[in-house]
A = this chain, B = another copy of it.
Amino acid sequence: MSYFADLLSTLFERASSLGKLSARKQAPLDVLCRELLTSKGEVSGATLAQAVLNEYTALDDADKLAFFCQLRDEFDLNADAAKMALSVYQQNPDQKNYATFMHAVDPQRQELIRRLNQVPGATAQLVAMRQDLLRLAKDNPDIAIIDYDFKTLFLSWFNRGFLVIRPINWASPAHILEKIIAYEAVHEIDSWDDLRRRLQPEDRRCFAFFHPSMPDEPLIFVQVALTDSMAHSIQAILSDDREAISADTATTATFYSISNCQQGLAGISFGNSLIKTVVQTLSRELPSLSVFVTLSPIPGFKSWCNGRDLQTDNLDTGDLRRLVAHYLLNAKRADNRPLDPVARFHLNNGARVQAIHGDADISPKGKQQSAGLMVNYLYDVPHLADNHEAFATHNKVAASSGVQNLASEAIKQFQL
């Protein structure tokens, strides 16, 4: 069972092959790409792929843009060939014509990206390449079209079945931990001491997804506080001088932060799987845990209020909690989904709005976005599937009766 531990040879292999390959004489990037696409066999392929990746890494933004334009134009789908192959296939839908057509609708740039990925270590470089693409596409929207091809391949490569979950703790490697510090997006980690306070106490947990081809790069991670009851404020969780409780006696796991790490994987969702996997893992390790809940911000609340001329500064905590309940349950987008992005995420996972707390995040960001309030979304395993179904099909927002009452009161009080 511990056999997989032995990835030494892999790392060794990577070092050595990279060394070997980088010795190759250089050619212009567009030439290298053409050679890679026409090379037969893996011999020259890996060398060429490495050369392309090396060249790309050294480019400035102008040249990266040119490279993406080459992908868009030169290595585009050949629509005429596709049309012809489709005609042939429709007349005679046999195995050979199917393969010919499918091949015709595989854009050369997808094949190029697949061939680049044959080099060990290439996956992380391709993720970085897509990050460049998304960044440059903001000012150059005409290259955005090729993101479809990156995303299609990444959806296949970053399939849930390929991901591994690992605990992150104070015994984790420093080079992983410094990435946790850098990537934490919800409640900033301001020092190694701060990090230790979040990882070392026995009532704190952190888990991340990794892809085997990017072992040094977490994809997403979640931080969990084990508590006696549902956490009411982030200040209590992150307090410097709190006493840790025994993990064995904790009844509640509060997910208080979840952060995506890779901008180059935008649109490829891991959060739902991560939460569910962590719920399973913790349930098994700590049988006394019975409640799994988030402590989440309400990032759209304040601007929604502003749009309605509701002055949150003049409202007391009770008023605010009622308004948040209404906002979460009733404020909708055009497609009839909740306005709040965090609510959409958790409701779509099958969670329900459980409780709303005032003075729950008194940081400047917390006050500015959420007027200092936070929400518990409850992950009640037996109801997740039904809640999700009702939400996915009928946009039904699951909520505790307490929150439903708050929302009703808000409608009356504020005549919404």
Binding site for B on A (CB under 8 A): 1-13, 16-17, 20, 40-44, 46-47, 77, 79, 82-83, 86, 89-90, 93-95, 98-99, 101-102, 105, 114, 117-123, 144-145, 148-149, 152-153, 155-157, 159-162, 164-167, 169-178, 192, 195-196, 199-200, 207, 212-213, 215, 269, 272-273, 276-277, 280-281, 284, 287, 348-350, 384-385, 388-389, 392
Contacts and interface: CB of A to CB of B under 8 A. Distances in A.
A4 B14 CA distance: 14
Contact of A171 (B101, B152, B161, B174): B174
Contacts of A159: 114, 117-118, 157
A192 to B, nearest CB: 5
A46 B170 contact: no
B166 A43 contact: no
How many copies of this chain? 4
Q: Taking each of A2, A119, A200, which has the highest tally of chain B beta carbons within 10 Å of its own beta carbon?
A: A2
Contacts of A16: 280-281, 284
Q: Taking each of A169, A174, A207, which has the highest tally of chain B beta carbons within 10 Å of its own beta carbon?
A: A174
Given A114-B155, A119-B161, A120-B160, 7 more contacts: A9-B281, A12-B281, A16-B281, A44-B389, A102-B105, A123-B161, A157-B162
A355 to B, nearest CB: 22
Given A43-B388, A212-B212, A281-B9, A174 B161 contact: no
A251 to B, nearest CB: 18
A20 B174 contact: no
A2 B174 contact: no
Contacts of A1: 6, 11, 169, 171, 173
Contacts of A121: 161
A284 B287 CA distance: 11
Given A161-B123, A162-B213, A349 B148 contact: no
A144 B174 contact: no
A132 B1 CA distance: 28
A157 B156 contact: yes
Q: Taking each of A11, A13, A176, which has the highest tally of chain B beta carbons within 10 Å of its own beta carbon?
A: A13
Given A47-B385, A385-B43, A284 B148 contact: no
Nearest to A156: B156
A384 B160 CA distance: 38
Given A11-B1, A79-B86, A269 B42 contact: yes
